[in-house]
Amino acid sequence: MVHSNGIGLVLVGRHSFGYRLHGSRVWRPRQVVYRVLPAAVTVPEWRHQPCGRISRPVGTRSPRRRSQGTQRDCAGGAMTNTPVVASEVSPAPVVIGEMPDDVSTVFTVKVAATLVSAAVIVAALYFGRDILIPLAFAFLIGFALSPAVTRLRRLGLPKIVSVGLVVTSLLLFLAGLVLVLGVQVRSLSEQLPTYQTTIRAKLSDLRTQLKAPGFLDGAMRTVDVVQKEVETPQDPATAPQRVEVVPPPGSQVENALIWLGRTVEPLATVGIVLIFVVLALLDRTDLRDRLLRILGGNLHRSTDALEEAGKRISKYLLMQFVVNVSYGVPLALGLWLIGVPGALLWGVVAAVMRFIPYLGPMVSAVFPLALAFAVDPGWHMVLWALAIILGLELISNNVVEPLLYGSSTGLSAISLIAAATFWTALWGPVGLILSTPLTVCLLVIGKNLPQLQFLDTLLGSMPALSPATRVYQRLLANDVEEAIDIADGEIEKSSVVAFYDTIGIDVLRLARADYGRLATAEHRLRVASGMDELLSELREEHPASPANHPKVVCIGGKWEIDTIAAEMLAHALELDGIAAAAVPMVDATTRSIGKLELDDVSVVCLSYFSHEPESAARQFCRRLRRRWSNIRIILVVWSRPAQILASETYRELGADEVAASITEVIGRTRRMLPQLGNEPERAAIPSNDKERLAALHGTRILNQALREDLDAIAKRAADAFDADVALITVIDHDREIVIGQNRVVPGLDRDELDRAVLPREAAIGGYIVAAGESLLVSDTERDPRFSDNPVVKALRQRFCAGAPLRAPDGFVLGAFSILDAEPRTMDQREMGLLEKLADDVMESIGETDGGKKADVDNETPGEASAIIGQQIPE
């Protein structure tokens, strides 16, 4: 294409082999090449033929040679082209990763516009603080009072009455608190004159001790001498005289107005805040609708944003109140025990001041310490007061706050400090109080608006980089020690095998993606050597049982990262009790394969990161079988190419199995080795299965009268999760009984009550009952537990997720599962929703029991008419 600025730009994508571009040859996979050409040059138009290759157009000139017509690169087809070049092309260098001028200009304009917008917003916040501060306080108080208003509304009270009761209760509480504190302050002020003698005695004693000779006296005398020598005495006659301008005294009216203005201003602000609070509580739904309209766009995302902001701020305020009370009450009690006057006053002051981050606790500690200094002739009361304050601070900061706060705000520690500094600079001490709630709002906006996602990255407590990216970045920086520390931390959370499967392989995927696109030779060497050191360290820290004759050999297929992945796989197999070894990368020639010692080996795992490993894998498998005909081959494709995983292509290549993860390889290897058994893995039977079965038959969960209601719940779940099948099942002695389903699933056996039943050894819910926790299988064909499961094959489902049906006594009776025909995944929030549905099912069944325990196996649909959530009629 030709740009108006006289510069032409050619973007060249990746093909399966090297090709010529105006005399340059590009071999790197998946790299983007920017080519700057003269303005007169146009890009030739390529016409694709069945051959599938690229040929340079006739008539274009190369610095090496001129094309002699159409090239034929393979049998059965060729590439023809139509030259549209009007002038000769001068050989220009290929620049990789360089941004074009127009793109750079657009980027610069966007950055400038962003900075200007930020400056305007900050200026508006600063100059509009007189209006914005009352509004912010009002909405903050509204968030705190909204749950109370909602509870009163649910009791049937009108909105105005509910708001009036809540606001009136708040004002009465504040008035009573002020009254009590006023009495305390008055009593304390009356007692202060009696402490003057103690204060003077202590100050005199301190003054005497400070005047006593000390080790710094000599240094101070030296400083005084030097200062006198440096200073030049000035003539008093010529010295400037200090003049003080004394304003004339104002009239009584003027003084009264000044005093009235200073008094009325805070009262007016309080009144404005109170009015805003009442209006916000009365028009909460209208304000919510207007915010949704302002956010616009995706209504689901806007709703989630408002809901998340409300929950986070309400929880933060509630937890802040609990933390402050848990600090103020013990402080008041401790000060009262040691005899500090006004202990209740200082406890309340400490609780209130802790709403001011960082500065509030320090300021509140000054008052009781100063009073203890004034009251006690000695130092015991001061030391005890200091010990109480420090002890409560340590307990509050290290025990109470982490226990109650958790992740209520979602802000990182550094973002809290930065936010406090920013808002204090804008709005003063008030901004310090409002810093956390306002920053939470910014965080929620950043999470839900794609244009402002940088706020989530800057302010959020979640890691900015995934563990795999962190390890990869440390390897690029040649910091292997930190990469090992990250790996050790992740292994402590799970296991070595899980680290290899979820993080180690992802590190190699990142290296594979950057190989020809961004990485330099130095970066590639750093990653390769760093991964060697990392794996060596993990082998030393987590040694496996030595094996003289490995039964499994892992071979890197093509690149060095294939060999590194093979080493991870071999170590994981050894940790799982399978004798394995990794062989360095070899080419697929007959001579190289002949050097391998595979006579006593049962399984060979070929590791490939290539997106198109068919050709190399076919040659490797053919030559392996030519030498060792009885060997079993697992083709491990870490890049998950769909053309191999979604069909029987791997068998055409000569492999017996295909896998895409370390866990899958371990499962398939166990089935291939005779000494480990060829049967697929089955769910274990819980040790308390007898008691669990007794609990199962002691409930009405098998009552046929509940069938329609459970079917309705299953149908709602299937619609909500957009799944093909939703099943509510229980695990009996030797079978899995379907008690609720969104639709009739063909191919399942039926019992005497026309319920779908499955054998327990192949039950999906059996794994949930055995583990006692939720199950998530993104692709059943990639999970050895389900790849040959007859139930999964009969249902023709690729995705499975389930939550336990847990009885009140803790026994897991069955599972609430959803299945889908296509592989997919679910995030933590969706899994939590599925678990909540399962809990709701059990609560509903518990409500129908009515306290009765009966033998429900013999009940028929005509003997009961229960509906979930209602009592059984007598």
Using DSSP bridges, classify how beta strands 735-741 and 756-759 pair: parallel, antiparallel or unpaired. Answer: antiparallel
Tally of CB atoms within 10 A around 721: 19
Residues in CB range of 236: below 8 A, 6 or more apart: none
**What is the pTM (predicted TM-score) of this model?**
0.68
Residues 191 and 205: their CA atoms lie apart, in Å, by: 23
Tally of CB atoms within 10 A around 621: 22
**Which of the pair, 674 or 733, is modelled with greater confidence?**
733
Which of 697, 682, 689, 706 minimizes the C-alpha distance to 784? 682
The single residue listed with the structure tokens 């006690």 is 376
Amino acid in the structure at residue 660: A
Cα separations in angstroms, 177 against 140, 182, 344, 734:
21, 8, 11, 66
Residue 533 pLDDT exceeds 90? yes
Residue 514 pLDDT exceeds 80? yes
**Residues 26 and 12: beta-carbon distance below 8 Å:** yes
pLDDT in tens, 333-366: 999 998 888 888 888 888 888 888 778 888 888 8
> What is the number of alpha carbons within 13 Å of residue 478 lying toward its C-beta?
5
Which of 774, 777, 776, 733 minimizes the C-alpha distance to 757? 733
Which residues does residue 803 pair with via DSSP β-bridges, in sequence order?
Answer: 816
Per-residue pLDDT, 37: 38
Per-residue pLDDT, 233: 58
**Residues 655 and 663: beta-carbon distance below 8 Å:** no
Residues 64 and 43: their CA atoms lie apart, in Å, by: 19
**Residues 134 and 269: beta-carbon distance below 8 Å:** yes
Which of 443, 424, 267 minimizes the C-alpha distance to 360? 424
Q: Which two tokens stand for residue 602?
A: 């049962």
**Residues 847 and 716: beta-carbon distance below 8 Å:** no
Which of 737, 739, 748, 718 minimizes the C-alpha distance to 819? 718
**Which of the pair, 326 or 22, is modelled with greater confidence?**
326
Q: Which two tokens stand for residue 258?
A: 């000044």
Residue 173 pLDDT exceeds 80? yes
Residue 206 banded pLDDT, cuts 50, 70, 90 = low
Number of helices (H), then strands (E), belonging to the chain: the values are 31, 19
Which of 744, 752, 785, 768 minimizes the C-alpha distance to 831? 768
% of the chain with per-residue pLDDT over 90: 17
Q: Which two tokens stand for residue 446?
A: 């950043």
| Order of strands across the sheet that contains 799-806 | 749-750, 756-759, 735-741, 725-731, 812-820, 799-806, 775-777
Stretch 513-525: mean pLDDT: 85
DSSP state letter for 301: H
Cα separations in angstroms, 77 against 55, 82, 150, 422:
12, 17, 74, 67
Residue 802 banded pLDDT, cuts 50, 70, 90 = very high
What is the maximal distance between C-alpha atoms in the chain? 121
Residue 567 pLDDT exceeds 90? yes
> What is the number of alpha carbons within 13 Å of residue 669 lying toward its C-beta?
30
Q: Which two tokens stand for residue 609?
A: 């990161």
Residue 64 pLDDT exceeds 70? no
Phi, psi of 495 (to 5 degrees): -165, 170
Per-residue pLDDT, 223: 60
Residue 85 pLDDT exceeds 50? no
Residue 535 pLDDT exceeds 70? yes
